[in-house]
Structure 1
Amino acid sequence: MSDERSPVPEIDTTVPHSARIFGYWLGGKDNYPVDREAGDRVRELFPQIVDLARVSRRFLGRVVRHLVAEAGVRQILDIGSGLPTVDNTHEVAQRVAPETRVVYVDNDPLVFAHARALLTGVPEGTTQFVHADVHEPEEILRAAARTLDFDRPVAVILMGVLAHVADYDEARSIVRRLLDPLPPGSHLAVRDGTDTDEAYVEATRQYNAGGAVPYNLRSPERIAGFLDGLELVEPGVVSCPLWRPEATAPVEEVPVYGGVGRKP
């Protein structure tokens, strides 16, 4: 593991950060009082947020296993990766195919610090970290090209990230700019919260008022719009628990939707 951009700014412990809050909901310890306060406010209004965080994490694992085991992808660009936890993208991917190359991207200095220490790949594969922002797709691709071969398919993962781009057209532009240089057979995986649950909408409104980078809930149709022009992988863009569930027991829908598309 190495980083591909410097210098990294100081960690600001006065402003809540989505990666640290998400990690807090998952039971992680790498956060600050301001993150816990923001996370607790949301949980008080919408107790299911912890379940949503876990559902989202399990969705990531199923997506990565599909990309590597079924689609044959051996290169992954995980943007907005968040803090290391169990079953990180490279761990899931390299468990299936040890030669898989994974590049993580995040803009939180704390993620950067922990990534250097914890996100180490197997000897056959490569795991790198890029400190950059989703609003800088060209910078992300430039840095990722040091590790990934853009003449071969790449899977771009954007989990809970595009909702931090307030303007929908700008978010779609970012997706296009990330995918345009990639060859056919590349994939895009997205997941974001939706505006389909009133309690979740209100909790998110109060979260946004607390000083963190706003998280913009969108309709399932708008989330599906990020995959326009791609070949949707079955079952399409759905509530995350319904995307290729591994359990045989019935699963319930949640206001978090995701899907995977393949570049033709």
Structure 2
Amino acid sequence: MGKGPPGIDPTVPNAARIYDYLLGGKENFAADREAARRLLEISPNLREGSRANRRFLIRAVRFMVANGIRQFLDIGTGLPTQENVHEVALKVAPESRIAYVDNDPQINAHLDLTRPIGLLLVAVLHFIVDDEEAERIVRTLRDRLAPGSHLAISHATIGDLDEEQEREGRAIYARSSTRGAIFRSHERVLRFFDGFELVEPGLVWLDDWRPEEGVPRIPRFPGLGGYAGVGILR
């Protein structure tokens, strides 16, 4: 990508475009690629982690469809890439309805809130740096959901990084359009599932959540870690 569309500053890195670059996409600018390269110096596993996160999303959606979920609300969607929520869900259940919500006032969710929904908060909560605000947002969403709704969360954690590397990584995101990132502990991420019943195997590393037989596991290189889990509202 070269010159950005109106309202977008291509000189300011954007988390969604950084993610797109790490996944091998083309919807990114030089500033995004430079930020990604600096992040890769700090966390060499970032590409593998991004792919593991995408594969978790796909597995979580398939799990929800198998459990009867036919409505999906994907918050913090980012840029479209391969195997988006609608592609995964519609392949198995063509009657599914999917709403994508990001920082775009023109996107409206058209879902029946009296019926169960698959709520996807995948790689988004670590960009809400205040713990109380992040927990309040999840509670507010939870309180709108019907019993039987599913919640999928993936979240970055410090992994193998030392304190200096963590500061450097957070500083890069602080200069991006997201204005910050936080790498929460297992205990902190677990709080987002208050009111939900975690399904097996619980809150685990990204590629440990219900890995698919015959699919090669992504190598675990040094750097950031990531937790993933799915809960059901009873």
Q: Which runs of 5+ in 2 are unaligned?
A: none
1:255 corresponds to which residue? 225
1:105 paired with 2:101, answer: yes
CA deviation map 1:80-119 (0-9, x unaligned): 1111111101000001100100000112xxxxxxxxxxxx
Amino acid at match of 2:125: L
Structure-2-length-normalised TM-score: 0.88
CA distance in 2, matches of 1:11, 1:208: 17
Amino acid at match of 1:99: E
CA deviation map 1:189-212 (0-9, x unaligned): 110101232167355234235444
CA contact (8 A) 2:128 2:134 kept: yes
2:90 corresponds to which residue? 94
Measure how far apart 1:179 and its partner are.
Answer: 1.5
CA distance in 2, matches of 1:89, 1:43: 27
Which of 179, 184, 193 is the matching residue for 1:218? Answer: 184
Measure how far apart 1:43 and its partner are.
Answer: 1.1
SS of 2:144's partner is: coil
2:125 corresponds to which residue? 162
CA contact (8 A) 1:150 1:182 kept: yes
Measure how far apart 1:215 and its partner are.
Answer: 1.4
CA contact (8 A) 1:18 1:212 kept: yes
- Give the aligned length: 223
Measure how far apart 1:223 and its partner are.
Answer: 0.8
CA distance in 2, matches of 1:21, 1:219: 23
1:171-250 to 2 correspondences below 5 Å: 171-198=134-161, 201=166, 204-213=169-178, 214-247=180-213
Q: Give the share of equivalent positions with the same residue, in percent.
A: 48
CA contact (8 A) 1:196 1:219 kept: no
2:27 corresponds to which residue? 30
Which of 38, 41, 45 is the matching residue for 1:44? Answer: 41
- Judged with a 3 Å threshold, the aligned counterparts in structure 2 of structure 1 residues 23 and 251 are, in CA distance, closer, same or farther, namely closer
CA distance in 2, matches of 1:208, 1:247: 35
Measure how far apart 1:263 and its partner are.
Answer: 0.6
Larger mean Cα displacement after TM superposition, 245-254 or 14-23: 245-254
Measure how far apart 1:170 and its partner are.
Answer: 0.9
CA distance in 2, matches of 1:236, 1:226: 13
- Judged with a 3 Å threshold, the aligned counterparts in structure 2 of structure 1 residues 203 and 247 are, in CA distance, closer, same or farther, namely farther
RMSD between aligned residues: 2.2
1:121-140 to 2 correspondences below 5 Å: 131-132=104-105
SS of 2:101's partner is: strand
Measure how far apart 1:177 and its partner are.
Answer: 0.6
SS of 1:256's partner is: strand
Measure how far apart 1:180 and its partner are.
Answer: 0.5
CA distance in 1, matches of 2:133, 2:83: 31
Q: Which runs of 5+ in 1 are unaligned?
A: 1-7, 108-130, 133-138
CA distance in 2, matches of 1:250, 1:85: 21
